[in-house]
Chains A and B, each alone.
Chain A
């Protein structure tokens, strides 16, 4: 999707970046353009976590087919994240429950967290960017 050459801001600093994905994959552009930022941040060798909460859990759902709405299907990118050393994927338990989803419905391996666990994880971050 993006230029994945290693980038460097010259400082050698590694910070914990959390990307909070709250929106459905289609309907708005946030998920697609958000993913671009995640990939660039990984190219800067930062410590990247992705969280999927609210309708954001639909981004990882199996069987997405965008033919009918004639927009790009980028769901394959989530499966490629491992190749960019993005392996910390978290989903919010309550958001999954509210939408009738389980881990079996998702295209990638994730860690399911309770609200309290999620809050603790967020508190550990240096930068939280929400899309």
Chain B
């Protein structure tokens, strides 16, 4: 099955991004595909490469980047939400790209399921 994933909260304050990541990784392990993850609202803050969490904690943006590198997951950050929050191409972690909301709507149209992770 093809899953599209929508992440609506930023890292660390909320668990949404962690849960979305674990869902995506597990779905892929089980033989499903996750062609794209879309980051909206404060979810765009998952895309920065400038975060330096403590060594003994998970690095949320880095593990999204690894998922993209390992499985070709397209990590899309909403441009309007990103501009409001100071996220631009200069700060993006590997595997993320900035694009429009049409990419979210496309997931709903084309994939079998669209799963939202947020509050």
Contact = CB atoms under 8 A, between A and B. Distances in A.
Interface of A: 2, 7, 9, 11, 13, 15, 17, 29-30, 33, 36-37, 40-41, 44, 46, 126-127, 129-131
B62 interface: no
Contact of A129 (B6, B100, B106, B110): B6
A2 to B, nearest CB: 8
A15 B110 CA distance: 9
Interface string B86-101: 0000000000000011
A44 B106 CA distance: 9
Contacts of A44: 102, 105-106, 109
Classify the secondary structure of B's interface with A: helix
A89 B8 CA distance: 23
Contacts of A41: 105, 108
B108 A130 contact: no
A29 B106 contact: no
B102 A7 contact: yes
A37 B105 contact: yes
15 contacts: A7-B102, A7-B105, A9-B102, A9-B106, A9-B109, A33-B40, A33-B80, A36-B101, A40-B101, A41-B105, A41-B108, A44-B109, A129-B6, A129-B114, A131-B118
Contact of B41 (A2, A9, A33): A33
**Size class of the B contact interface (CB-based, 8 Å):** 10 to 19
B116 interface: yes
A41 B102 CA distance: 8
Nearest to A129: B116
Contacts of A29: 41
Among the interface residues A2, A13, A44, which one has the most CB atoms of the partner chain B within 10 A? Answer: A44
A130 B110 contact: no
Contacts of B102: 7, 9, 40, 44
B104 interface: yes
Interface in B1-37: 6, 8
A126 B105 CA distance: 12
B81 interface: yes
A30 B81 CA distance: 11
A37 B101 contact: yes
